[in-house]
Structures are given as C-alpha cells and as structure tokens.
Amino acid sequence: MRKVVLAEKPSVAQSIARIVGATQKRDGFYEGNGWQVTYAFGHLIQLAMPENYGYNSWSKGNLPMLPKEFIMIPRQKKEGKTYKNDPGVMKQLKIIKHLFEQADTIICATDSAREGQSIFRYIYNYLGIKKPVLRLWINSLTDAAIREGFSNLQPDSNYDNLFLAAKARSEADWLVGMNATQACSITGKSLYSIGRVQTPTLVMIVERYLQNKNFKSVPFWQVTLDTTDGVKLTSAGKWDEKAEAERAYNTASKARSGKVIKAEKKQMTEQPPLLFDLTGLQKAANSKHGYTADKTLNIAQSLYEKQLITYPRTNAAYIPDDVYDTIPGLLQNPVFDKFRSVIDAIEKPSRRCVDASKIEDHHALLVTGVNPKTKDIKLDEQVIYDMILGRMVEAFSLPCIKLVNTYTVDAGGFLFSVTSSVITQMGWRAVYGVDDKERPVIPVWRQGETVCFTGAELQQGQTKPKPLHTEGTLLAAMETCGKEIDNEAQREAIKDSGIGTPATRAGIIETLVARKYVVREKKSLVPTAKGMEIYKIVKDMDIANASLTGQWEAKLADIERGKMSVDEFNSDIIEYTKHVTDEFLNSGLKPILTGKQTEIECPLCHQGHIRFFDKVANCSNEGCNFHIFRTILGKKLTNSELTDLIIKGQSRELSGFKCKDGKPFKARLKRDDKGGISFVFNQKK
C-alpha cells in the first residue's frame, strides 16, 4: 500500500520522512518503508492575473473586473512586463501529480492552519486528483507530536471550512486589490498599489505620523516639595498658566510644614501575563530588541522546524486542559534551569491561561522541551526562544502583590501627593526582577500627621504627542483596528475583528516597505512621499476604513467556524468591490504628478498625445491605455530615450540594465504596437 504525504516545506518533509522511515532521497521527495513524502515550497498554485480573463488593458470599461469563476495557475515569476511559469514550480507539480496518481492513500501535512490548508487544496484541485485525503494535524514537529498525529489522522473533509475561508480571503483580496489598484491608477494617472488590508494599514501609519508632526506642544507647570524624610511631593494638579503656578510655588515654599489629610493603603494584585501568541511575541521582540515583525516570524518558524517550539502562527494566548496537565513536568525540564529558583516557588502552575474556548486551531506558544544545544541555533533564535521560555515561567507563576501607599498633603491650601508601591509577593515579576525605581521606600505617615519641608521647586513641562508607530505599536493597532485598548481581556475579545491575521500582518508591513510607501527610521515607521500621496487619495474612502476591514476579517472567521456561508460572503465582497471601484472612478482625481505634455502623437490610439511623468510616459486620451514605464530592469530612461522608443519604435543600444544576479548588460529596446517592450541584443555578442 503506497502512502503519499505532502508537506509545506522540504525541511518539514524531511522530519516527517525520518519518522515514517522514508529514508531514501529522491528527486523532489523521500521514499521508503511504503511511504513517499513530498513537499511544496509555499503556494505553488495562485489566482490568475486579469489578462487570463481577457482583461488585457487598464481601462474604465473593464471595471469592475468580476470573474464568474476564478482561474488557478502555477505560481509565476515576472520577466519584464510579462509573467511566465516558474520552472522549479512546474517540475515539483509534475512530481507531486505522479506521486498522487500512484498513491493508495494521500495525507495532507501542510501547516495546520488556514493558509496551509489552502496550499494543499489548491495543488490537489489544480492537479485534478479525486482520491480521498487524510489530514495530519499537529501542534509541533517533535518526533512524539508527529507520531501522535499519524495515529490520529482525520478525513481532510473535516477541514473544508478552513479551506473555504482561505479561498474566500484570497479571492476577496484579488477582487478589491486588482480593481482598486487599476481604478486608482487610471483615474490618478500614476501607478499605485491598493489593497484590502494593506491600504488601511498604511492609513493608520500616516495618521499617527500626521498627529505627531502637527502636534502643538503646550507648556504646563508643577510644583514639587522636598520633605525631611527624603520624599518628594508633587502638586496634585498641573497649571497651564505660569502665574497660577508661581502663586502655588510662593505659598508652598513659605510653608515650613503641611498636614497629611489623606493616607490610603491598598493591596493591588497583578495577574501573570498571558502566554505569547504570535502577535504578542512580535510586539515584545520589537519593543525589547528592535526586531521587525517579519524577522520574529521567520525566527519562530525556524525554531518550530527545529522542533524547539510549538506552531508559531497562532492567535491564541491560551492552552487546553490536556496541555496544562503536561506543564508541571515540562517546567522541570533542564531548558528551564535559568529560572529554577522562580519555578521552585511555584506549588501549582497558574491556570489563568487555560481556556479551550479561546483556541481556534493552535494553542499558545510553548517550548517543547527539546534542548536548543542539540540544534545549533543562532543568536537571534536563542533570543526569541528565551523570550518564549521566560513568558511561560511568568504565565504559570503566582500573581505579583503590591501594597500601594498614597498620601495627600495640604501645604498652605494647595494639595501635594506621592504614591509608592512596595512588593509583598514578587510572584511572576521575579522572572526578570523589578527595577528599584518601582519600589521606593517611603515613611509610614498617618492621617493628621505633620510633614516638614526642606525646599520647593517650580518645574516646567511640555505636553508630548503620541510617538510614531513602531512595528510593535502598529501590530497592536492592527489587532484592534486602531482602537486604543489597554485591557488584555478586551483586546482578546476583538481579535477576530482586527486587520489581517497573525500569519499575514508581518507580510503586510513588509509589502508597504517594499513598495516604498513606508520606510523604517530606527524603530519608527514613517510614510514616504508616495505613501502620503496615496493617503491623500484614499483617506475619506471606505478602502481606508480599518473598522470595515476588521468586519471582513470577522466574517472570514465565521466562515471558518461554519457560521457564515461562502456565497453570502462572496455576494457582500462583490458589492463592496463595486463600491470601492466607483469611489475611485467618481472621485474626480487629477494626476498627482504634473506631467509634461508633448507633441508626440500616441502610436496606439492616434488621438491623444504623450505626457512624460517621473515614472511613466502615457497617453493623454482617457480611453487609451498606452504607457511605458521609465525604469526597466534598473535602467531609468531619459526623455530623449523615451522619445526614440515612442516615435521610432526602438532605442539605440543602452547600458545600465541589470540581470537578476546583478550583472549589467547592454541592449536596444523595441516597442510593439500595443506598447510592449522587448530587448534586442547585438548579434555579434
């Protein structure tokens, strides 16, 4: 009986092959012991581009593009202005098809999540395979987890809703992205990429930037008093007018003593933090170590593939009861020895993170107990591993208990106060310790007691704007659609309504950077001139509405849970696509870049004239799609070179082009009747 397993990556296939005994390496798969283990490398199958549906030009007449049925094609790579099949993808698909056709049993072993499910199903459906499939669903890649997964294989049909949600998401992104991008570019006469999730994310970055830069700092004044006990009291209020502050200062500085009119003592309990989900890990790694969200995700994925942590692309900060039962034993593993003194104080691990109802596909991030020293991990990997390790100890520790003392003192009719906390039980805070500044020692004052002063000081401060978004604060904003929610439980409750998913948010940020809409300045994310231009166009449109985007994410989650039909979602997204497209087409946009109108007649429509912009030359005729981009394979064309290409149909031999490997080359450019560009090389060479 021939059993074929499809994993998402070669490295995962290798781990699975070792467990099932498929030890012989073949071209594109492993084989042995009645098993064949093959692999994809990400999405081998993708949604076709508009031209595959007959939309061969960018024109208002084509919009909105609403394919009756989406076409799936092998992943392609761009060469010049066209896309071609990737030879490596085509070869691997051929191998997978042959193995599937010969198989008695097919097992889906792609990542156990929405995207992993779509990777398998798109390949399976594209190849036209009709055989039943079993699903391997695991939380980690340890040998024990893989063996347990194979002993509990489920029909792949159990995960139909997961695939339907992934399919609906990709088709929605195609509909909104393709139509909005073309509508914006046609109307504004400049090429901008618009996306269902990408654009509201950009808007959040720009709005925070504008809030910061347009903030008008306002001065304020406070008065402080030093006491004979070495304690500094601060005025209970702040004054906007210096004269009022000076009056308080003069009165307080003349007073030699004041009376304690209020002495409050409260016990405050700080519960342990929840375990890390992916977004929580990315935020913490950005704040503490400056890691980008994408870097943290890649490191976590590597740790997962090295069997050191559980599945990283999780949106849950909780674990179920059966996993909790393993925690006492796991905490005794030598990998936790650096926190041994804290762990020894834990009589029974906290159950705050135990709630199966808050887990969709995968539980919170945990270490597996496999020793990192056996895996030759890198320094950055050790940093992320230690963060997960430390958070586990924090999450299962006792609460931190503080005694908070607040005193209010009357000095000549003005009120001054001081608050201090003394930790009576370190609990989870013992993991990383507490800065001494957090626990100053102050005298125990009683209500009615007299406090003596040694001096007063008038201090001026300035109001400060909200800081620019870092990747950490942006991830937090994406989780809540920009709503400022500090309460951990409330943030958890609206996770399904955030922008994007834990698995996609890092990619969204990287896309904005790659398209030069945003740049990184130290830890901050700053919009570029191009990003600001897009913001000016979309800021009042629904495509920029983060809350609306969050509602789409919530609907996708409902599809995954079987609470919403795909047909209903698709109907809604088509109406939304029409609305977004109309918003651009009817916006009355004018070209943002001032193009130079030439006397060159358009060689395509023969009605308009060519205009030269900074990045493109195009026709002035609204109904014509003739355009040539200035930059081709790294070479930016001059006006003279563009003129030759448009009038003569070809240029002289030009230098400055670069191959994919960075090597420079020379060539002439040739234009066809529709504006397509090809290279012509010197035959002698």
Active site residues: 311
Residue 504 token pair:
């996609």
Element (H, E) at 175: helix 160-188
Residue 415 token pair:
């009120």
The Cα 410–Cα 226 span in angstroms is 14
Residue 681 token pair:
């090389």
Distance of CA 6 to the CA centre of its chain: 27
User: How does DSSP assign 249-267, residue by residue?
Assistant: HHHHHH-SEEEEEEEEEEE
The Cα 578–Cα 65 span in angstroms is 9
Contacts of 111 (CB under 8 A, 6+ apart): 8, 119, 311, 313
The Cα 463–Cα 239 span in angstroms is 12
Residue 476 token pair:
């937090």
Helix, strand or coil, per DSSP, at residue 172: helix
Q: How far is CA 362 from CA 50, 136, 137, 169, 246, in A?
A: 36, 14, 10, 20, 60
Q: How far is CA 70 from CA 49, 128, 172, 289, 571, in A?
A: 10, 16, 11, 43, 15
- Three-state SS string over 465-533 comes to CCCCCEHHHHHHHHHCCCCCCCCHHHHHHCHHHCCCCCCCHHHHHHHHHHCCCEEEECCEEEECHHHHH
The Cα 592–Cα 535 span in angstroms is 12
